[in-house]
Structure 1
Amino acid sequence: MRGNIFHNLRNAWIATFFALLFSLAVAASQHHVRDTALTTCRPASFVPSENDTSVPRRFGFLLYRATDPLDFLGPSEVLFTLGRLAHVDFYYIVAESFVIVSTELVPPATKAYNSTIWTSVAPTHTYDDPPIDLDALVVPGGPGARAPSNVTLDLCGTRPNLKYFVNVYTGTVIAAEAGLLDGRRATTNRAAWLTATAAGPSTTWVGDEKWVVDGNVWTSSGVAAGIDAMVTFIARFWGEQLIARTLQLMADIPTRSTALCHVAERDLQVAINSIAIH
């Protein structure tokens, strides 16, 4: 008897919790859409064909020493999960060589506790041999973004064929130094606000948004906000059905639905129920 009561109370708490998150997400979704050219998602019934060239499929991730891991692994996870439902390619790019890239911070001041917490990534391409026909370049942040190399700046500033730039956290420092944010609205991490905004004096910096879209440039604020920005990006171009299924596979509580312009409530509720049940 006690077991049944506990089970029912637990299920009721879970349902209430997710309902609250969903209501907050719906309310917040009215606040985050900033770019008038991208205020609507695809129709609810839209599912892109394999030959649809209007859908971004090829993503590059710029890597460098002392990148924050979640800045690239978070958006990568969204694309990885989407890739289980549709064709997607993504690549890890470094400017200098094929040397393994570490997220290890530069000593001595940043290694005061001698922790071994670093992630290492094998790049797939270099600046001299970049992927062909990338649709979007994701620029992560981290301590290393505050002293980007000339080659890194060149990579960001001389890619006229790129359709979109997605900047995460202090990746906006690199984008600003490269001139990508000149005359645009953008956001960045509040903890590094002075450093980041100083890199883009002609940028209109927005401090109260998790992400901002201006034309083909997307910027996000905190580290985890890169996930929100990528979910936003996918929702805008890939449609409601695929992003709802992606969120469900990720078991991601749809607070991320703040990123969606008009994702069907029914589809998101199905995702919420699935998470609660399992």
Structure 2
Amino acid sequence: MSSSTSSKSQAQPLRPPLPTPTKIGILLFPGFQLLDICGPLDVLNLLSRLTPLHLTILAPTLAPVTTNTFLSTSIGSDFAQSVLPTHTFATAPDDLEVLIVPGGFGTRDEESVGELVRFLGEYAGLRWVLTVCTGSAILAKSGVLDGRRATSNKKAFAWVKAQNDKVDWVPKARWVVDGKIWTSSGIAAGLDMIYAWIAEVWGEETAQELADSGEYVRNKDPDDDQFAERWGTV
């Protein structure tokens, strides 16, 4: 038997590509950053016109979840928005494929964050977890990021790093991919990450079409976040 025939006979059959995801969830808590969620969701809204998608909004209870924080109320502001969950942690569907975790000042509230940490540590079966801003701090506290590369909001970078020293925190990155975990820098960086993730899953042509439809100029370099210098993380 020739070497070429032998190598062919020993070759492993190619696995068919996994189907694109359809079931996407977002995780909410009081004091979440609105753009962390609404930026990626608006892009996914446009994507849902091209391919079937289903959204689950998760929170500890079914009560409306507010963006308001102690920082606002302490100076007398009542300027906030609320989002209505579709499921609680107890009734979360077991077939979610993608989960988006926002950041915000609510990530500093140990009482409410504790519920999120427990949920993230126990919830299994996800194909992707995407965090925006200080959402990576919540994921880090759950242990899911142990031994992985990740990034976060550059203004809050020192605080985020202090939440878990077992994570390989990347100070310059706009977003970081480590297996099924995608983490992005502060607030608006979630838009660059979601377009990059869509390019990974549905193709660059689809991602760029969505960006052009939204008249958004993408940052396509995951390793370069100009705010790292602005906030002194590098």
TM-score by length of 2: 0.82
CA distance in 2: counterparts of 1:113 and 1:82, whole angstroms? 39
Give 1:112 deviation, angstroms: 4.5
What is the correspondence of 1:8-47 to structure 2 with a 5 Å cutoff? none
- Aligned-pair identity in percent equals 35
169, 183, 188: which one aligns with 1:224: 188
Note if contact 2:72-2:78 (Cα within 8 Å) is conserved in structure 1. no
CA distance in 2: counterparts of 1:81 and 1:177, whole angstroms? 33
SS for the counterpart of 2:183 is: strand
SS for the counterpart of 1:134 is: coil
Q: Specify whether residues 120 and 53 from structure 1 end up closer, same or farther in structure 2 by C-alpha distance, changes over 3 A only.
A: same
Q: Cα deviations across residues 137-196 of structure 1 (Å, max 9, x unaligned)?
A: 111000111224332112111122111110110001110000011000111112111221
Match of 1:91 in 2: 56
Q: Cα deviations across residues 107-160 of structure 1 (Å, max 9, x unaligned)?
A: xx5435423321110101111111341111111000111224332112111122
Give 1:242 deviation, angstroms: 1.8
Match of 1:121 in 2: 83
The alignment covers a number of residue pairs equal to 204
CA distance in 1: counterparts of 2:75 and 2:86, whole angstroms? 32
Which structure shows the bigger proportion of residues in helix conformation?
Answer: 1
CA distance in 1: counterparts of 2:113 and 2:150, whole angstroms? 22
List structure 1 segments (4+ residues) > 3 angstroms apart after TM superposition: 109-113, 256-259
CA distance in 1: counterparts of 2:174 and 2:167, whole angstroms? 17
Match of 1:202 in 2: 166
19, 25, 31: which one aligns with 1:60: 25
CA distance in 2: counterparts of 1:81 and 1:162, whole angstroms? 23
CA distance in 1: counterparts of 2:89 and 2:148, whole angstroms? 26
CA distance in 2: counterparts of 1:244 and 1:190, whole angstroms? 26
What is the correspondence of 1:71-150 to structure 2 with a 5 Å cutoff? 71-95=36-60, 97-106=61-70, 109-146=71-108, 147=110, 148-150=112-114
TM-score by length of 1: 0.70
Structure 1: unaligned runs, 5 residues or longer: 1-51, 260-278
SS for the counterpart of 1:190 is: coil
- 1:174 and 2:133 correspond: no
Give 1:245 deviation, angstroms: 1.9
Which of the pair has the greater relative contact order for Cα pairs under 8 Å at 6+ separation?
Answer: 1
Match of 2:216 in 1: 252
Structure 2: unaligned runs, 5 residues or longer: 1-16, 223-234
CA distance in 2: counterparts of 1:231 and 1:256, whole angstroms? 9
CA distance in 2: counterparts of 1:220 and 1:149, whole angstroms? 19
